[in-house]
């Protein structure tokens, strides 16, 4: 969103005020983030206010969705493993990826604290996102799995990092260049930064919100936008923060925009945010299993979430997300370690060790090639 100074005579009903409007005596007339009405326009003229700052939508290049996603190669076990510190392990179990994920959560805590203290360092943010994006692009299998392994006491920061991870995964699959993926991932990391200005009593409330509490909570996207504008963060990132709770059918907030008026990046962040939130333990509900969360996200396509990006997300994350333990039609137990985006019901599996333990053997099963087998159940 751009902010433009507009003559009161040019205001139209529905335009959204980006800065609080004050009268000549200093009296507050219209709060920032409010859509003006005919009555408000008349009031401004009565108070002889001549100019008002309003939001004007930026026009960004649309993302062209690929006709087909890159297919994973073969059943070759060697392609699924990596050697770290002399130890051979599945890519999905990479200790380097886990370390990057953990470090990013810690850095995000510090970034948010600096934002709250108004001592924000853009270099720290840039380094954090660059390291995360490099990790995701280097080992998408591990980061896809890590994004659903939750830390109960780190919801705000872990959720922010995981949305950034999912956004980078989807951006990579959509064929974006690294600069665009970095912008998208940064938006994911900062999408909930406005919650820093929401009281903890509301954020951590175990029960249902009252109407006033919900109204306060809904301010976080607009507050986040204002924070990022204050810190001179890239306009497209700030715009994603502003729009990530908008619905494509116009029933979201803060402005009730419809899909055609929403930036593609905002719609991608919305999908990643909803999925990750569903798989996370909250004070007021239990988490969904990842495969159930994928189904729940799909049901929101076309109403809450963008249909095309939701479909693309499913192809990237899979019907059975990485880390899911499944039983095959022949009775064997396997763990999902990679996806076949063009055949999401037939991922790549690693045969679990005897007894279904955490350690997998070297037997890799690519269900896109093993047509006689199919997933019978989720363990």
Residue pair 24/48 in contact (Cβ under 8 Å)? The answer is yes
Q: Provide the pLDDT for residue 180.
A: 95
CATH, range 2-56: 3.90.105.10
Q: Does an H or E element contain 276, and which? A: helix 264-278
Phi, psi at 61, each rounded to 5°: -65, 135
How far apart are the C-alpha atoms of 7 and 350, rounded to whole Å? 64
Is cis: bond before 39, omega within 30 of 0?
no
Quick check: 162 and 156 in contact, CB under 8 A?
A: no
Who contacts 205 (Cβ-Cβ below 8 Å, separation ≥6)?
213, 283, 284
Q: Which residues of the chain have pLDDT under 70?
A: 1, 57-59, 61, 67-79, 149-154, 354-361
Q: What is the DSSP string of 224-275?
A: HHHHHHHTT--HHHHHHHHHTT--TBS--SSS--BGGGS-HHHHHHHHHHHH
Question: Both tokens of residue 321?
Answer: 């997300």
Q: What is the pLDDT of residue 361?
A: 60
Provide the 3-class DSSP secondary structure of residue 23: coil
Decide: 238 and 227 in contact? Cβ < 8 Å.
no
Q: Report pLDDT for 356.
A: 47
User: pTM to 2 decimals?
Assistant: 0.86
Looking at residue 259, its pLDDT comes to: 87
pLDDT at site 34: 84
Q: State residue 74 phi and psi, 5-degree precision.
A: -145, -175
pLDDT, residue 3, reads 81
For residues 112 and 105, what is the distance between their CA atoms, to the nearest angstrom? 11
Q: Where are the domains of the chain?
A: 2-56, 77-317, 325-378
Nearest-angstrom CA–CA distance, 223 and 128: 23
CA distance 324 to 326: 6
Q: Which two tokens stand for residue 66?
A: 């690929």
- pLDDT at res. 254: 92
Are 2-56 and 77-317 equal in CATH topology? no
In angstroms, the CA 184 to CA 180 distance is 6
Domain made up of 77-317: CATH architecture:
Orthogonal Bundle (1.10)
End-to-end CA distance of the chain: 45
């Amino acid at each position: 969103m751009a902010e433009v100074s507009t003559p009161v005579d040019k205001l139209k009903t529905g335009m959204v005020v980006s800065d609080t409007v004050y009268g000549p005596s200093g009296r507050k007339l219209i709060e920032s983030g409010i859509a003006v009405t005919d009555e408000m326009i008349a009031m401004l003229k009565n108070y002889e206010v001549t100019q008002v700052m309003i939001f004007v939508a930026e026009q960004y290049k649309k993302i062209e969705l690929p006709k087909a996603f890159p297919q994973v190669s073969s059943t070759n076990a060697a392609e699924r493993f990596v050697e770290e510190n002399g130890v051979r392990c599945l890519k999905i179990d990479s200790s380097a990826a886990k370390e990057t994920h953990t470090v990013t959560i810690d850095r995000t805590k510090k970034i948010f604290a600096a934002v709250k203290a108004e001592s924000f360092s853009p270099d720290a943010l840039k380094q954090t996102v660059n390291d995360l994006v490099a990790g995701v692009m280097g080992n998408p299998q591990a980061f896809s799995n890590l994004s659903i392994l939750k830390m109960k006491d780190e919801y705000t920061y872990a959720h922010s990092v995981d949305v950034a991870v999912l956004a980078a995964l989807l951006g990579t699959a959509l064929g974006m260049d690294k600069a665009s993926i970095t912008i998208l991932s940064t938006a994911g990391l900062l999408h909930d930064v406005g919650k820093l200005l929401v009281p903890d009593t509301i954020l951590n409330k175990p029960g249902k919100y009252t109407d006033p509490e919900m109204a306060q909570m809904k301010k976080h996207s607009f507050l986040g936008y204002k924070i990022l504008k204050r810190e001179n963060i890239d306009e497209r990132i700030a715009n994603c923060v502003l729009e990530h709770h908008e619905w494509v059918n116009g029933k979201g907030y803060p402005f009730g925009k419809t899909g055609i008026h929403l930036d593609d990046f905002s719609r991608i962040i919305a999908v990643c945010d909803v999925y990750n939130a569903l798989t996370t333990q909250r004070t007021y509900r239990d988490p969904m299993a990842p495969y159930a969360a994928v189904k729940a996200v799909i049901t929101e396509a076309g109403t809450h979430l963008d249909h095309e990006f939701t479909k693309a997300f499913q192809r990237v994350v899979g019907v059975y997300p990485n880390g899911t333990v499944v039983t095959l039609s022949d009775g064997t137990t396997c763990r999902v370690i990679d996806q076949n985006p063009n055949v999401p019901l037939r991922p790549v599996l690693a045969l679990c060790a005897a007894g279904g333990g955490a350690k997998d053997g070297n037997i890799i099963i690519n269900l896109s090639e093993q047509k006689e087998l199919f997933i019978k159940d989720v363990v």
